[in-house]
Amino acid sequence: MLRSARKMKEFALGAKDGRIGHVEEFYFDDSHWTLRYVVVQAGNWLTGRMVLLSPQLLGNPDESNKILSIKLTRDQIRHSPSPESNRPVSRQFEESYYRHFGWPYYWAGPYLWGPSPFPIPPAGPMEEAFVPGETEKGRFAVTGDPHLRSTDEVMGYHLRARDGEIGHVEDFLYDDQDWSIKYLVAGTRNWWPGKQVLVPPAWIGEIHWEDRTVDVDASREDIRLAPPYAPGKPLSAAEEAMLARYYATELHKV
């Protein structure tokens, strides 16, 4: 199922023994377009501490009560590694985080989450599968610094097609099974009032942090003719198939 990163900010976070706060934002990997951490707004419960939760620690969302369950107690969360506030998450921190929970590194292995296509820790010992620092021959080899970015930071960035600006980033739609980002939601109200379209990561070029822009490897006309997106309405199988056909055709043209 595709979920909205913006809508998930309405969800509270529930540990095994009580609530701990709510979803503040996500950190995503801009090299593989995957949400790697939920950033927790813990309020007075853990004042001055940033809490990051990997999807490996999360259960299924409770839609009716808007609660996202956590597979830890409050005390386990309190004693989990915490990055320094207001600083980028370093690979050194990520290594300590994954060692704390006994998981293989997601950046070391042939799949999106290291040894698995999904954020589910293997049941057996982890150390034998992937040695820290070892370079794998899979498509996700060990790299230097992580490519972690804030969804809140990128929401609002201007989208720049090959022949001019087309709008701005309003949201991210991600797959709640593997947490990969499937689309950026583009607001185009300055050019085509009232229309939002979905832009797949395959169309995304460079993100320019200094001037808050995102390059889109398409023309303004490609975006204008893209199927419209209705926020809040789940995409049907037929709509996803239509999007796949459109983007595949336009990518082939590019």
CATH of the domain at 41: 3.90.50.10
CATH number of the domain at 180, please.
2.30.30.240
Largest CA distance in the chain: 55
Same domain, 83 and 199: no
Same domain, 108 and 189: no
Both tokens assigned to 237:
């199988």
- pLDDT at residue 27 is higher than 60: yes
Asked which of 148, 173, 204 is the last residue of a domain, the reply is 148
pLDDT tens, residue by residue, 102-126: 999 999 889 999 999 999 865 544 3
Same domain, 127 and 12: yes
Q: How many domains does the chain have?
A: 2
Domain interval for residue 223 = 155-253
Same domain, 143 and 248: no
Residue 87: pLDDT band with limits 50, 70, 90 = low
Same domain, 126 and 44: yes
Same domain, 24 and 48: yes
Asked which of 108, 129, 148 is the last residue of a domain, the reply is 148
* Alpha carbon separation from 6 to 3, 24, 112, 154, 173 (Å, rounded): 9, 9, 23, 12, 9
- pLDDT at residue 179 is higher than 80: yes
Write out the DSSP string of 41-100: E-GGGGTT--EEE-GGGEEEEETTTTEEEESS-HHHHHTS--PPTTSPPPHHHHHHHHHH
Asked which of 148, 180, 204 is the last residue of a domain, the reply is 148
Q: Is the distance from CB of 229 to CB of 196 less than 8 angstroms?
A: yes
| Nearest CA-CA partner of 187 in 148, 162, 214, 211 | 214
Same domain, 144 and 168: no
Same domain, 131 and 217: no
Same domain, 118 and 160: no
Both tokens assigned to 22:
């709510």
| Nearest CA-CA partner of 186 in 150, 153, 158, 225 | 158
Q: Which of 14-23, 39-48, 164-173, 238-247 has the lowest mean pLDDT?
A: 39-48
- pLDDT at residue 142 is higher than 60: no
pLDDT at 85: 66
Q: What is the pTM of this model?
A: 0.86
> What mean pLDDT comes out for the span 138-163?
75
- pLDDT at residue 155 is higher than 80: yes
Same domain, 92 and 10: yes
pLDDT at 169: 95
- pLDDT at residue 63 is higher than 70: yes
Same domain, 50 and 67: yes
* Residue 86 or 154, more confident: 154
Q: Is the distance from CB of 186 to CB of 170 less than 8 angstroms?
A: yes
Same domain, 128 and 26: yes
pLDDT tens, residue by residue, 211-243: 999 999 999 999 888 888 988 788 888 888 988
